[in-house]
Structure 1
C-alpha cells in the first residue's frame, strides 16, 4: 500500500549509450590493468552520461571529465569520461550535477560535445570503476547498450 519504506533495488546501469567493452580493452594501462579497481567501459555513441548507480555525489570534477559516487552501503564508483580529457579543463563538457548532492541510477550527470572532442583527437571511452565496496566480477561481454540500461 505505502512505499515509504521500500528499499531501492541495487543496480548498476550503463552510463552512456554505445558499445560495452571490458576494461581490459581500454587503451590506457591505468584502467586496463584495473589499477583503480574493476569495472567496465562503454565506447560512447551519444553525448549524455548518466549515473551508473544511486548514491551521493562525492566528487564532481569541475572539468566535467569524472564523477565519483558513493552508495549508502559504502560502494565507491568513479565514472571517467575519455582518456586524457582532464587536459581540456572543462572545454566541451557541461556538468549537470553538484558535488554533495544525491543521484539515482540513470539520472543525467554530464553532457559532452562528442563530435568536437573526437575532432580534437580525444578517445571518449567512458570507464566505470569500483575502487572499493564492490567485489563481484564484471563479465558483461561486448554488446550495444543504452544509457540507463540495467547491467547488474
Structure 2
C-alpha cells in the first residue's frame, strides 16, 4: 500500500516487528468490536490531516525517485509523461474505460494502477525488449551549417512554367 511508504518516510522505522505489531492490532480490532468503535470515532478532520501528510510523503518519495532518472534519454521522458497522462485519465474522464473489456476497465479504473501498468510496460518495452540502438537519434544532425542542410526546391507554375 502506498501509505506504508509515507509512514516509513515520516518515522524512519523499517522494522518488521512494527508490521507484526500493527497486524496484531488489526486482528484485535476485528475481534473486539469495542476497539473498532473507538477507532471509528476518530474525527474525519484528523483522518484527513493524517492522509494529507501520508500521501504527501508518498508524492515526495516519488518526486525524489524522478530526480534519479537520466532525462537525457528521450525514452525516459516519454515513459514518465505517458504514465502521468494515463494516471490522470480516470480522474479527468471517469467514463473513459467504460467500453473497454471488464478486466481492463476494472484494473484501469484507478489512476494509480493505470499509471503503474503504463510505466511498467513502457519501461519493459524501451529498456528491455527493444535494443538501445534502435531508438537512438543522431544528435549531430543539428550541427550542420544551414548551407549544407538547405535543399534546392524547384517550384513550377500552374502550366509547368517556372516562376
TM-score interval (norm. to shorter):
under 0.3
Higher relative contact order (CA 8 A, sep 6+): 1
Query: Greater share of strand residues, 1 or 2?
Result: 1
* Larger Rg belongs to: 2
Query: Greater share of helix residues, 1 or 2?
Result: 2
TM normalised by structure 1 equals 0.21
